[in-house]
Amino acid sequence: MTKSGIILLFLNLLIADDPSTIFKQANIYAEKANYQKAIEKYESLIDMDYESGALYYNLGNSYYRSDQLGLSLWAYYCSQKLIPRDSDLLHNLKVAKAKCLDRIEFPNSFFPFDFFRELDNSFKINELFLFGSLLILIFSFLRIMKKTMWLSTDASKNLNAILVIVIFMVHSLAFRKYFIDYKIKYGVVITNSVKVLSGPNNSQSSILFVANEGLKVKINSIKDKWIEVELIDGKKGWLHFSSIREI
């Protein structure tokens, strides 16, 4: 093989392994309704530690159209962490959740808690911290204006009080989201009729309840190949690791 041929082959190999090229190939497969090949390509990108909201969103669509509801919801939840306000994602997530056999809703709570939960779900951590930092800069600027008498005392007091409250709320949301995203683990059940056991042992544990694909659970602990999960209604039990995929 000539030197130019070797160089051309090397360049082709580089292009073939380029994430953007693989992503485009996966999208083409999805457009042609070859969802299994599309899934393989999307998953290969995840194996390469490449992630984006669009990647998980398209992967979720491919799983959904290939009747893999649990994996579809897993991908949508992953996408939501990266593009939380995307209208198409939120619509598809709602449609997919409506097909779940296990639909456990949050218990009724006081209005402000529902409002803050929705607000929390609409922003990424870095956006909340950035907004909080901007508010601190505005607060500092107002303090300077007050000292230079560019702003009346009464107006300054009112604005400062409002800003302090908003800054506290924004940073509280940011730290709460950080704790949830990085300290608490969640997963999605990816198979149907999974027996949730009383302990991490299939032969020595009793069946507590049955979980179906698409159910979002909190991961409490891991022992060998068993995972202790908790539902939002407080139920706890153990699943085999093959039945769940961490978000």
159: number of Cβ within 10 Å: 16
- Cα diameter, the chain: 82
Answer whether 189's CB lies under 8 Å from 70's CB. yes
The pLDDT tens digits for 157-210 are: 777 788 888 888 888 888 878 877 777 899 999 999 999 999 998 778 899 999
CATH of the domain at 63: 1.25.40.10
Q: What is the pTM of this model?
A: 0.75
Residue 206 is which amino acid? S
Q: Is 33 helix (H, G, I), strand (E, B) or coil?
A: coil
Q: 143: which 2 tokens?
A: 């303090």
Tokens of 62: 């491919």
DSSP state of 234: S
Q: Could you report the per-residue pLDDT of 100-129, keeping only the tens digit for each?
A: 988 766 555 555 656 666 766 778 888 888
Query: Domain with 237 in it: what CATH number?
Result: 2.30.30.40
| Domain span including residue 236 | 185-246
**222 assigned to some structural domain:** yes
Domain count within the chain: 3
d(CA 3, CA 1): 7
